[in-house]
């Protein structure tokens, strides 16, 4: 019988191009997506898919074309949404990632001070002490799920600090984040847009209480207080407040979480790279950039063509959905040599697409890198030997590229 990976490679190369739909979530879940993207990069880098469960869309799969789209917000607008899923009008929530200038800049600048260099310097010792407590408390010799005990816990603690959110309720943030990024599907826990809306209304209600406390208090450096006291955000309608909350919660949560998990998996898959890192801990920040490239925690961002235009020789029409597959561009051989391999000291290691480009380039990227740097510093300092002892379970999503579980064991 043919090996599963060989069958997948056959399918990726034999399916007619016109039928190739890289948006199918199951291919991300079973990690079989790579051959499909490799083929699109080679044969049809700007590819039209006429028929998908998200309607027709263009796939942009090569590095330079992705940068061209991402840096041209006038031609490729985010105002109709940033995911391949079209959110029904009645469930649409505005947020600054779905805005253009000047409103986008005003709102982005409102929240930016929390991740400014001087504030990150203040966070450093707090993050380090939390990482130490978590690592010290992990089971020795017994298998456990790294996603739950480390990745979710660390990122959720950080989010609680950013919002100054009641610490004991912090797992609500994880819950809302997961609900927000999962499009409703029949047979799943969230099976309708209405159910999603009801849960997220609970999020809005909780945060409205915090807003009301903070608007009547002196301004402070947390995300709610920053928004409550800024002329760019203080008059937001409830839907816009919810939209920005979701943006900040998802931004700070899923992405860093999945990089924390991916790093452990990759170091197990490439033991030579882990040895390199152990021999030279000064490579931590380079290794973290490589983890973020190799994981690509946000697989795509979507734009909508604002006018007819040509991209990669293809005629795009006004209103077309254009999907930038960062996950593919990050392995584009023309720009990233040997991109399918994990190499912690590669040349130009920061030259990846995972944080996007242009006016929406990730506002939290330095915080994400700081958290990951500290995690790896501390794993090395404690001499932890984290072995993956089972298959990772991946999320069925073409947007958040990540894991629901990674079984590991730490040798005593």
The answer for 240, left when phi > 0, alpha when psi is -120 to 50, beta otherwise, is alpha
- Choosing from 112, 361, 385, 389, the residue that interacts with ligand HEM (CB under 6 A) is 361
User: Residues of 37-75 as b/e, b for ≥16 C-beta within 10 angstroms?
Assistant: bbbbbeebbbbbbeeeebeebbbbbbbebbbbbbebbeb
Q: How far is the CB of 173 from ligand HEM (least distance, A)?
A: 12
Q: How far is the CB of 154 from ligand HEM (least distance, A)?
A: 11
Which CB, 106 or 143, lies closer to ligand HEM? 106
- Choosing from 97, 173, 242, 344, the residue that interacts with ligand HEM (CB under 6 A) is 97
- Choosing from 247, 274, 311, 395, the residue that interacts with ligand HEM (CB under 6 A) is 247
Specify whether the CB–CB gap between 93 and 243 falls below 8 A.
Answer: yes
> Cβ neighbours of residue 226 under 8 Å, at least 6 residues apart?
110, 111, 113, 114, 219, 233
Backbone dihedral angles phi then psi of residue 103, each to the nearest 5 degrees: -65, -40
* Interaction between residue 127 and ligand HEM (CB under 6 A): no
Between helices 238-269 and 171-181, what is the axis angle to 10°? 90
Number of residues that bind ligand HEM (CB under 6 A): 30
Nearest to 247 by CA among 72, 71, 115, 94: 94
User: Within 214-233, which residues bind ligand HEM (CB under 6 A)?
Assistant: none
Which CB, 94 or 356, lies closer to ligand HEM? 356
* Interaction between residue 301 and ligand HEM (CB under 6 A): yes
* Interaction between residue 255 and ligand HEM (CB under 6 A): yes
Nearest to 302 by CA among 60, 55, 52, 39: 60
- Choosing from 21, 38, 65, 70, the residue that interacts with ligand HEM (CB under 6 A) is 70
Would you give the binding string for ligand HEM spanning residues 331-360, x where CB under 6 A is met? Answer: -----------------------xxxxx-x
Which CB, 115 or 274, lies closer to ligand HEM? 115
Q: Are strands 403-405 and 321-325 parallel, antiparallel or unpaired?
A: unpaired
Which region, judged by CB under 6 A, interacts with ligand HEM, from 10-18, 40-48, 254-262, 330-338?
254-262
- Choosing from 297, 329, 339, 402, the residue that interacts with ligand HEM (CB under 6 A) is 297
Which CB, 204 or 250, lies closer to ligand HEM? 250
Nearest to 127 by CA among 371, 363, 382, 377: 371
Interaction site with ligand HEM (CB under 6 A) = 70, 96-97, 108, 115, 162, 247-248, 251-252, 255-256, 259, 292, 297-298, 301, 354-358, 360-365, 367-368
């Amino acid at each position: 019988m043919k090996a599963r990976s060989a069958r997948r490679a056959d399918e990726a190369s034999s399916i007619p191009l016109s039928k190739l739909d890289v948006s199918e979530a199951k291919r991300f879940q079973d990690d079989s997506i790579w051959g499909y993207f490799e083929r699109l990069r080679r044969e049809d880098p700007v590819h039209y898919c006429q028929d998908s469960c998200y309607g027709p869309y263009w796939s942009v799969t090569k590095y330079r074309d992705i940068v061209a789209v991402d840096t041209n917000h006038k031609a490729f607008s985010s105002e109709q949404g940033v995911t391949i899923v079209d959110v029904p009008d009645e469930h649409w929530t505005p947020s600054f990632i779905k805005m253009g200038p000047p409103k986008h800049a005003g709102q982005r600048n409102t929240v930016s001070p929390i991740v400014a260099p001087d504030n990150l310097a203040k966070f450093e010792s707090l993050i380090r002490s939390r990482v130490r407590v978590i690592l010290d408390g992990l089971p020795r010799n017994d298998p456990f799920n790294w996603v739950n005990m480390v990745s979710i816990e660390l990122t959720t603690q950080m989010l609680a600090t950013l919002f100054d959110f009641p610490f004991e309720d912090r797992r609500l943030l994880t819950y809302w984040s997961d609900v927000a990024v999962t499009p409703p599907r029949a047979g799943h826990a969230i099976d309708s847009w209405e159910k999603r809306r009801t849960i997220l209304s609970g999020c809005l209600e909780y945060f409205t209480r915090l807003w009301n406390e903070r608007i009547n208090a002196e301004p402070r450096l947390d995300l709610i207080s920053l928004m409550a006291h800024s002329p760019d955000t203080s008059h937001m309608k409830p839907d816009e407040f919810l939209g920005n909350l979701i943006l900040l919660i998802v931004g700070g949560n899923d992405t860093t979480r999945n990089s924390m998990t991916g790093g452990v998996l990759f170091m197990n898959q490439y033991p030579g790279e882990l040895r390199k890192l152990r021999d030279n801990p000064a490579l931590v920040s380079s290794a973290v950039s490589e983890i973020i490239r190799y994981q690509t925690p946000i697989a795509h961002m979507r734009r909508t063509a604002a006018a007819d235009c040509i991209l990669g020789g293809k005629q795009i029409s006004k209103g077309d959905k254009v999907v930038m597959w960062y996950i593919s561009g990050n392995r584009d051989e023309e720009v990233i040599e040997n991109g399918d391999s994990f190499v912690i000291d590669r040349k130009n290691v920061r030259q990846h697409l995972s944080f996007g480009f242009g006016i929406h380039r990730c506002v939290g990227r330095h915080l994400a890198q700081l958290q990951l740097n500290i995690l790896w510093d501390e794993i090395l300092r404690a001499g932890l030997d984290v072995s993956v002892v089972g298959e990772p379970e991946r999320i069925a999503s073409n947007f958040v590229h990540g894991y629901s579980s990674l079984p590991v064991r730490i040798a005593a």
